[in-house]
């Protein structure tokens, strides 16, 4: 994988983990018939997503890529990263 693909892979798993962490308390307090069952399933998905995020972070370290920062602005997600002495910016449009 090239460096940009590695950064994108990490970013996507990172976002999945953040969204699951946000949704878990909402699911636990929802008015559904079995909120604890659904929350347990979401918690299991969260553990798997976290493991994938950590695996992607290891791949970044192996490739010598450092994430400098990230920001969401106007529906776009910007990630600054460094590889081989060069600083790069990747943006992902989230409105599409």
Q: For 43-55, how does the pLDDT look when each residue is reduced to its tens digit (9 = 90+)?
A: 999 999 999 999 9
Mean pLDDT of all residues in 64-82? 90
Quick one: pLDDT band at residue 90, thresholds 50, 70, 90? Answer: confident
DSSP per residue over 28-89, as a string?
Answer: HTS-SS-HHHHHHHHHHHHHHHHHHHHHHHHHHHHHTEEEEEEEEETTEEEEEEEETTEEEE
Question: Which residues, 6+ apart, have CB-to-CB distance to 4 below 8 Å?
Answer: 88, 90
pTM for the complete prediction? 0.84
Angstrom distance (rounded) from CA 2 to CA 13: 17
What pLDDT is attached to residue 51? Answer: 98
Percent of the chain with pLDDT over 90: 61
What pLDDT is attached to residue 95? Answer: 61
Beta bridge partner(s), residue 89: 80
What pLDDT is attached to residue 94? Answer: 64
Percent of the chain with pLDDT over 70: 97
Domain residue limits, the chain:
3-93
Helices (H) and strands (E) in the chain, counts: 2, 3
């Amino acid at each position: 994988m090239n460096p940009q693909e590695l950064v994108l892979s990490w970013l996507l798993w990172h976002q999945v983990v953040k969204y699951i962490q946000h949704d878990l308390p909402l699911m636990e307090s929802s008015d559904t018939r079995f909120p604890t069952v659904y929350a347990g399933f979401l918690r299991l998905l969260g553990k798997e997503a976290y493991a994938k995020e950590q695996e992607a972070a290891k791949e970044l370290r192996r490739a010598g890529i450092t994430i400098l920062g990230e920001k969401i602005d106007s529906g776009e997600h910007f990630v600054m990263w460094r590889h081989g002495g060069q600083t790069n910016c990747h943006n992902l449009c989230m409105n599409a």
